[in-house]
């Protein structure tokens, strides 16, 4: 699998997963070891946990109480990430940082820059009462409408993404992953429930794509032509798992082509189950549509190697092993999508790729595994 100047050893990626184990927002030796092991276990591409971009309102307490989310600016954080990329490379892997701005999810007064006001395209968190796992207590703290972002704040975020991307290149990352899903800032521009702007950033799908496309363009300019850009998008939101940004493939095509033209090299279609049909009237999953509509390679994710999807395992506390990866391989062979990402399966078992290649049993997932970094 080759993306611009980068060749990966296989088509398996580690999905981005927030772990909140970086004290003072800088990855330490335990974080280095966590990623190094996944490279040693045979994962071709590691996408890191969401990392706060260089804009003061990027991270804080989101729907959890996490405070140990890493940054990608400041000496300690850059030093920590340099050690991570070195260790991953020595173990034969490649690694992209997932650049993240929490946007509407950040609780005011929290995070490394508590005085910075949280940023929302139209001041809206989203509709209350959606199908969601966020708590009533959290919703009470974010549901009141605030003011819309100013044009200066929009430009400030775009520049923040670009600075963090440049820093990523400087500390040895192999590409850039941009978090444009799950209801966070970029996605809240895509979603008509949270974007009611009447300027060039709001309106139809093409206008709502503008903010994301500006970020991609700025990141491309910051990192140059060699580094691949992976962009995560998705229909579901943390505010409402049943939410949709695109009702039809045509609408999705408008969004993805705008992002592809801006410089995206591969789309990461965020779904709960990799093969779930994305639109009525077709069996194709979201990653297949992404590839077909954008003309770019795509990556699927959701439920690989496990019996329960992410949200079911929130309820039940775990997931058993399920050998559904032959279906994944078949779909990659017939060109539906190009790569597959694994989330919880790689938390449960860092040697998952090597074990599966040898036909050995892998470990089941338990939510208690999130309490420690292993
Ligand atoms: C503990 C945990 C943290 C996550 N954090 C992020 C994140 O920071 N960024 C993101 O885009 N997705 C995040 N996700 C979603 C995963 O990337 C992935 O899409 C999801 O877990 C489905 O894949 P799986 O069924 O293989 O686990 C997280 C998932 C888990 C389990």
Ligand 1: residue whose CA is nearest its atom 2: 17
All domains of the chain, ordered by start, with CATH?
Answer: 2-306+323-344 (3.20.20.70)
E strand spans, the chain? 2-3, 6-7, 12-14, 45-52, 94-100, 176-179, 229-234, 266-270, 298-301, 318-319, 339-342, 365-366
7 three-class SS: strand
13, 17, 179, best to mutate for ligand 1 pocket (most atoms within 8 Å of CB): 17
Mean pLDDT across the stretch 11-26?
96
The per-residue pLDDT for range 72-98, each reduced to its tens digit, is 999 999 999 999 999 999 999 999 999
Q: Which positions ≥6 away from 304 have C-beta within 8 Å?
A: 274, 324, 325, 328, 340, 341, 342, 345
Catalytically annotated residue among 34, 35, 138, 184? 184
Distance CA 252, CA 272 (A): 18
In this model, does residue 65 exceed pLDDT 70? no
CA 275 / ligand 1 centre spacing (Å) = 17
343, 349, 356, 363, best to mutate for ligand 1 pocket (most atoms within 8 Å of CB): 343
Q: Sort 189 into a burial class: Cβ within 10 Å, 0-12 / 13-18 / 19+.
A: buried
Rounded to 10 deg, the angle between the 210-223 and 249-262 helix axes is 30
The per-residue pLDDT for range 257-269, each reduced to its tens digit, is 999 999 999 999 9
Distance CA 166, CA 144 (A): 35
The per-residue pLDDT for range 223-232, each reduced to its tens digit, is 999 999 999 9
Tell me how far the alpha carbon of residue 354 is from its chain's centroid.
24
Distance CA 79, CA 27 (A): 8
The per-residue pLDDT for range 270-311, each reduced to its tens digit, is 999 999 999 999 999 999 999 999 999 999 999 999 999 998
Q: Are the C-beta atoms of residues 141 and 107 closer than 8 Å to each other?
A: yes
**Catalytic residue at 365?**
no
Does the Cβ of 49 fall within 6 Å of ligand 1? yes
């Amino acid at each position: 699998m080759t993306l611009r100047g980068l060749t990966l050893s296989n088509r398996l990626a580690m999905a981005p997963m927030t772990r909140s184990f970086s004290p003072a927002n800088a990855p330490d030796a335990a974080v280095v070891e966590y990623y190094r092991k996944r490279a040693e276990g045979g994962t071709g591409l590691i996408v890191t946990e969401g990392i706060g971009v260089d804009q003061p309102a990027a991270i804080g307490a989101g729907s959890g109480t996490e405070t140990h989310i890493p940054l990608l600016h400041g000496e300690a954080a850059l030093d920590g990430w340099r050690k991570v990329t070195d260790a991953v490379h020595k173990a034969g892997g490649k690694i992209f940082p997932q650049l993240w701005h929490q946007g509407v999810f950040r609780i005011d007064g929290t995070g490394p820059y508590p005085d910075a006001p949280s940023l929302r395209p139209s001041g809206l968190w989203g509709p209350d009462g959606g199908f969601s796992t966020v708590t009533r207590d959290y919703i009470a703290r974010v549901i009141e409408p605030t003011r819309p972002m100013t044009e200066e704040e929009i430009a400030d975020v775009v520049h923040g993404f670009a600075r963090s991307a440049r820093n990523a290149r400087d500390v040895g990352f192999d590409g850039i992953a941009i978090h444009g899903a799950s209801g966070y800032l970029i996605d809240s521009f895509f979603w008509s429930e949270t974007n009611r702007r009447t300027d060039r950033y709001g309106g139809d799908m093409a206008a709502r794509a503008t903010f994301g496309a500006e970020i991609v363009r700025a990141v491309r300019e910051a990192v140059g032509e060699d580094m691949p850009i992976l962009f995560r998008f998705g229909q579901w939101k943390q505010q409402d798992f049943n939410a949709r940004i695109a009702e039809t493939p045509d609408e999705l095509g408008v969004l993805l082509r705008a992002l592809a033209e801006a410089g995206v090299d591969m789309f990461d279609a965020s779904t709960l189950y990799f093969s779930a049909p994305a639109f009525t009237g077709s069996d194709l999953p979201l990653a297949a549509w992404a590839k077909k509509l954008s003309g770019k390679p795509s990556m699927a994710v959701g439920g690989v190697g496990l019996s329960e999807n992410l949200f079911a395992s929130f309820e039940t506390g775990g997931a058993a092993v399920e050998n559904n990866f032959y279906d994944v391989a078949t779909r990659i062979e017939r060109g539906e999508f190009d790569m597959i990402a694994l989330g919880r399966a790689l938390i449960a078992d860092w040697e998952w790729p090597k074990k599966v290649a040898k036909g050995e049993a892998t470990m089941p997932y338990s939510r208690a595994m999130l309490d420690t970094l292993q």
